[in-house]
Each structure stands twice: as structure tokens, then as C-alpha cells.
Amino acid sequence: QVQLVQSGAEVKKPGASVKVSCKASGYTFSTYFIHWVRQAPGQGLEWMGIINPSGGSTDYAQKFQGRVTMTRDKSTSTVYMELSSLRSEDTAVYYCARDLGLSWLVRGWFDPWGQGTLVTVSS
């Protein structure tokens, strides 16, 4: 079955970076874009950006421009999201999710989602 499995929880100090992985299985990795979404404790969902696993192109939400980097490793069917200059407000569960849209310009709905990775930023 189609599955996205994320790396485990992380605890980081303010100013550090974190890199979260998302391993895809059950489908052709390069065929579907992957999004990253985060959810602060008790809050709603916030879109961070998207990566095309085929060519590696990315599109980031303006809020995260300059702090987020999304990459992929085609040999292991894994995408990565690295967030730098962490602050306490970055404490959240980070999700990856597969895009089911038509093209790079016509993005789609998300299915499935990874199980989530809790990133805690604390001194």
C-alpha cells in the first residue's frame, strides 16, 4: 500500500537546524510531488512547501523562504525537509503528504500523509 514513513521526534536548541525525512513506498517515487505541512500544538495546519521528487524543483511558502530546504534522494525514495535558525515558535508536528494534482502548476489534494514528526525547540 502507499505509505509515507517519517523519522522520529527531535529536540533542538534555539538557533539550531533540524532535518526530517519522509520515506515513500508502494508507488513510483518520482511520479508524485511531496508537500510539507506543520501543526503547532493545539493549532491548525500550515503549508510549508512542495518538492518535485523527479527533478528536485521546490516551491516554498513565503514565510519559510530562506529557512527551509527540501531535498530528495531518488535512490532511497526519501524526501527531506530541513529547517534552520529554529525558534520556540517552530515547535510543531511536521507532516509530509503526497500530492494528487494534475501538474506542478495545478497542485492537488493530499493523500496519504506521513505519521508526523514532533520537533521540539527548547533551551
Q: Which residues bind other proteins (CB under 8 A)?
A: 35, 37, 44-47, 59, 61-62, 95, 97, 100-101, 106-116
CB of 3 to other proteins, least distance (A): 12
Distance between CA atoms of 88 and 33, rounded to whole angstroms? 29
CA dihedral 78→2→100→37, nearest 10 degrees, is -50
Task: For residue 25, give the DSSP letter.
Answer: E
CB of 43 to other proteins, least distance (A): 9
Residue indicated by cell numbers 530546504: 69
CB of 13 to other proteins, least distance (A): 26
Task: For residue 79, give the DSSP letter.
Answer: E
Query: Which CB sits closer to other proteins, 14 or 25?
Result: 25
